[in-house]
Amino acid sequence: MRHTIAVLLENKPGALTRVTSMFARRGYNIESLAVGPTERHDVSRITLRVDAEEHSLEQIEKQMHKLVNVLRVQELVPGEAIERELALLKVSAPPSARAELMALGEVFGAKIADLGPDSIVFELVGSAEDVDSFEELVRPHGLQELVRTGRIGLARARSGSGRSRPKVLV
C-alpha cells in the first residue's frame, strides 16, 4: 500500500541522505520525494511517497524519528490532507494537433508554459491521479518529456473540528 509521509528536519548537510538511505537499506523504493524550505528558515520538509505494508512502515517511521536532525514524522492520510503535485509535460504538437491538445489541457486546468513550432509545454497542478490521467491522454500525441515534483501535502485548514488532523506517527 502506498503512503505519503511528511518529515520535518533541520536544514543540515547530510540530513536528507540519512532519511533516504534508511529506505534504501531496507530495500524500499521511494516513488517520489520533494524537499524544500518551510516557514522556518532552519527547517526543511520532506514529503515522500513509498509503497510499504502498514507494519513495515511503522518500523521505518520509528527508525526515522531516531535519526539526527529529524524533528517530526507525520503520515498524510488521504482525504484529511490537501495533496498536490506539479508536473511539466512537453508534448509533440505540430500545428494540426495544437487545438486538440489545448482543449485537453483546458479540461484539466493545465496552463501552457511554453509553445514552440512542434511542441507544447503544459504546467499542471492537481492530485497525482489528475496528473496520471492527463499524462495518459497526451501520451498518444508523443510525450517528449515529463517532470513531476512528487506530491506535497498539508493538513486541511478546517482543523477546528479536530477530526481532520494528520496522524502524527512519532
Beta-carbon contacts of residue 13 (< 8 Å; ≥ 6 apart): none
Binding mask 97-136 for a second copy (x = CB under 8 A): --------------x-xxxxxxxxx-x-x-----------
Return the number of the residue (27 or 95) whose C-beta is nearest a second copy: 27
What amino acid is encoded at 60 in this protein?
A: I
Do residues 33 and 63 make contact, with C-beta atoms less than 8 angstroms apart? no
Q: Which three cell numbers stand for residue 1?
A: 500500500
- Scanning residues 29 to 58, which ones bind a second copy (CB under 8 A)? 29-39, 45, 47
Phi, psi dihedrals of residue 152, rounded to the nearest 5°: -120, 160
Q: Is 156 in the site for a second copy (CB under 8 A)?
A: yes
Q: Is 13 in the site for a second copy (CB under 8 A)?
A: yes
How many beta carbons lie within 10 A of that of residue 147, not counting itself?
10
Strand partners, 119: 92
Give the residues lining the site for a second copy (CB under 8 A).
6, 11-14, 16-17, 20-21, 23-24, 27-39, 45, 47, 82, 84-88, 90, 111, 113-121, 123, 125, 139, 143-150, 152-160
